[in-house]
Amino acid sequence: MSVKRHYEREFVRTFFTSPTAVKGEDDSAKMIRSASQLSGMSAPDVWVPDNEDATAPSMRDEGVQNIVDVVSENGADFPGEIHPRMVWHRESPATRYQGFQHMLEIADPEKGAIQHIDGFVIPEVGDIDDWKKADEFFTIVENEYGLEEGSLSMSVIVESGEAELAMGDLREEMGKPSNNLERLFLLVDGEVDYTKDMRAMTPTGELPAWPELRHNTSRGASAAGLIAVDGPYDDIRDVEGYHERMRDNQAKGMLGIWSLTPGQVVEANTAPLPPKTGSWLLEVDNRSVELVEEDGRQVYDGDDVSLEETGDGYTLRVGSDEDELDDDELRETLLDMTAYVPSMDDIVDSMEEFEAAKEAGKGAIAMTQSTTIVIDGIEVEIRKDRMWDEATYQAAQTPITLFQDVYEHRPDQHNELAEMYGSDVVERATDVGN
């Protein structure tokens, strides 16, 4: 038994928002209409018709209508979950009431949209009592239309200090009989408004990285059986930066991220999946350089490291440090400087190997990766051992479990996954660990 999740998806990679009503277009629903037709890797795990910040205040009533129209028409075929964002503000009863009215409107079963809607996203929540106000409106909506209590999931945008603190209370509050907070699903950071709420500033206006907020969101999700999602990455052109942010998030246990464009959706759907092929990294001055494979050997072709044979050993230069090393010392030094990024195939291999060992009564086994590193034409064989025990096995399993969750819930991505990895690997990856 683990922390119980009250929803189907165990992982959400992508949270994609679209404006519900755009002024000055022939069809104000244009953006959500096109979003509703996405599929495959361009379609998000969670699609959010956004009736809050992405839509002008004067267009929001029309936005509600558009949500109903588009979702009733295309919702049945949409491959991900659908969670429209409503208006809400911890400091404005008028905004909260408006959000409630919009939910009442969208959720009317006669309009044919709610059947395809998995829940609603509530922005700008405050302390836990404010979350309960929203939850109560969900309950009333469900009751009004004869929907099962708790069947609409609730996701929140964490964009205030109060909401950050509230995440520490979720586990305790979710059990109480006077609320239905078990409906909670995603905890999504909203760094722009959070920055405003915290009154933070940077010289260039760039958003602070807020590592503590992201940690606390991930921890709150972990403790309460929810899913943590990072906020939008504004610089749409900067694909490398988006990937760096996702890598940083993954190391915090925050595996999902907001996407602003279908292009970002593709990147974010792919990023948490293990790579097709493994690779070797050389760590130089706290930067990791990927080595280039040539005939099964890993070649370094940068300028920061050089290697020379001397009469009785080697001279290794790293930046401005120079060391005289014998054979063993060289191997040892390069071993410390290298790391291996396993492929999907490698991970599956290791898991299977460990499972077999466990069956045979062993609690821990050594996993080995070996290769030939080439620097300035000199070849050095290295061999990395890592002990795997039950805990290592389970920690390594995360990307595989995520892959399996994707595979189960997103048949529309099967082709692309098979193209990416080959069908063999996909099949083994869907089987392992079960």
Restricted to residues 234-263, the positions that interact with a copy of itself (CB under 8 A) are 234, 238, 247, 250-253, 255
Minimum CB separation of residue 332 from a copy of itself in Å reads: 8
- Per-residue binding string, a copy of itself, 76-105, x by CB under 8 A, is ---------------xx-------------
Q: Which stretch binds a copy of itself (CB under 8 A): 199-207, 261-269, 374-382, 413-421?
A: 199-207
Alpha-carbon gap, residue 209 to 195, rounded angstroms:
10
Closest CA to 84 of 59, 134, 121, 43: 121
Q: Which residues, listed in sequence order, are joined to residue 256 by a DSSP beta bridge?
A: 229
Write out the binding residues for a copy of itself, residues 155-194 only, by CB under 8 A: 160-162, 164-165, 168, 171-172, 192-193
Q: Which of 39, 101, 222, 315 binds a copy of itself (CB under 8 A)?
A: 222
Per CB under 8 A, contacts with a copy of itself among 282-301 are: none
Binders of a copy of itself in range 310-369 (CB under 8 A): 320-321, 336, 339-342, 361-363
Q: Which is nearer to a copy of itself, 204 or 310 (CB)?
A: 204
CB of 364 to a copy of itself, least distance (A): 9
**Which pairs from 392-397 meet CB under 8 Å and 24+ separation?**
392/354, 393/351, 393/354, 393/355, 396/347, 396/350, 396/351, 397/351, 397/433
219 binds a copy of itself (CB under 8 A): yes
Reference 106, options 147, 136, 78; nearest CA is 147
Go through 221-248 and write b for each residue having 16 or more CB atoms within 10 A of its CB, e for each that does not.
bebbbbbbbbbbbeeeeeeeebeebbee
- Binding to a copy of itself (CB under 8 A): which residues in 111-130? 127
CA distance 341 to 364: 21
How far is it, in rounded angstroms, from Cα 371 to Cα 205? 45
- Whole-number Å distance between alpha carbons of 333 and 315: 12
Choice between 148 and 368, CB closer to a copy of itself: 368
Q: Which of 210, 215, 342, 339 is nearest to 287 (CA)?
A: 339
CB of 148 or CB of 391, closer to a copy of itself:
391
Q: How far is the CB of 135 from a copy of itself (least distance, A)?
A: 19
Residue of 17, 216, 371, 404 interacting with a copy of itself (CB under 8 A): 216
**Exactly one of 152, 307, 396, 429 binds a copy of itself (CB under 8 A); which one?**
396
DSSP string for residues in 216-267: HHHHHHHHHT-EEEE-----TT-HHHHHHHHHHHHTTT--EEEESSHHHHHH
Give the one residue of 8, 109, 140, 196 binding a copy of itself; rule: CB under 8 A: 196
Could you say which DSSP state residue 85 is in?
Answer: B
Residue in 140, 200, 292, 356 binding a copy of itself, rule: CB under 8 A: 200
**By C-beta, is 176 or 386 nearer to a copy of itself?**
386
Report the residue count for the chain: 434
Please say whether the beta carbons of 241 and 207 come within 8 A: no
The residue with tokens 């396993």 is 342
Site string for a copy of itself, 39-68 (x = CB under 8 A): --------------x-xxxx----------
